[in-house]
Amino acid sequence: MKNLHYSLLSLFLFLFLLFSIQIQTQTQEQQQQDTPITRFQRYLQINTAHPNPDYSSAISFLKTQAEAPDLNLQVQTLDFSPNKDKPILLLTWLGSNPSLPSLLFNSHLDSVPAEPSKWSHPPFSAVRSSDGHIYARGAQDDKCIAIQYLEAIRNLKAKHFSPIRTIHVSYVPEEEIGGADGAAKFVESKEFEDLNVGFVLDEGQASPGDEFRVFYADRTPWNVIIKSKGAPGHGSRLYDNSAMENLVKSIEVVSRFRESQFDVVKAGKAAFSEVISVNPVYVKAGIPSPTGFVMNMQPSEAEAGFNVRLPPTADPDFLRRRIAEEWAPETRNMTYQSVSYITILSTFD
Ligand X SMILES: *[C@@H]1O[C@H](CO)[C@@H](O)[C@H](O)[C@H]1NC(C)=O
User: Which 307-336 residues touch ligand X, going by CB under 6 A?
Assistant: 332-333
Residue 142 found at the interface with Zn ion (CB under 5 A): yes
Residue 246 binding: pick among Zn ion, ligand X, none (C-beta 5-8 Å cut-off by kind):
ligand X
Q: Is 188 annotated as a binding residue?
A: no
Select which of 110, 174, 181, 303 is catalytic.
110
Strand partners, 235: none
Residue 261 binding: pick among Zn ion, ligand X, none (C-beta 5-8 Å cut-off by kind):
none
Using alpha carbons, select from 87, 62, 57 the residue that is nearest to residue 73: 62
User: Which 213-252 residues touch ligand X, going by CB under 6 A?
Assistant: 230, 241, 246
Q: Is 191 annotated as a binding residue?
A: no
CA distances from 311 to 39, 277, 344, 345 (A): 35, 9, 16, 13
- Is residue 193 annotated as a catalytic residue, yes or no? no
Smallest separation, CB 327 to ligand X (Å): 15
Residue 300 found at the interface with ligand X (CB under 6 A): no
CA angle 229, 232, 235 (to 5 degrees): 130
Smallest separation, CB 235 to ligand X (Å): 18
Q: Is 131 annotated as a binding residue?
A: no
Smallest separation, CB 201 to Zn ion (Å): 13
DSSP 126: -
Strand partners, 234: 297
Question: What does the longest C-alpha to C-alpha distance in the chain come to?
Answer: 107
Residue 230 binding: pick among Zn ion, ligand X, none (C-beta 5-8 Å cut-off by kind):
ligand X
Smallest separation, CB 203 to Zn ion (Å): 5
Residues ≥6 apart with Cβ < 8 Å to 106 = 169, 170, 171, 172, 183, 200, 201, 202, 203
Which sign, positive or negative, has the C-alpha torsion 326, 277, 145, 196?
Answer: negative
**42 or 332: whose CB is closer to ligand X?**
332
- Is residue 110 annotated as a catalytic residue, yes or no? yes
Enzyme catalytic residues: 110, 175
Name the binding residues.
Answer: 108, 141, 176, 203
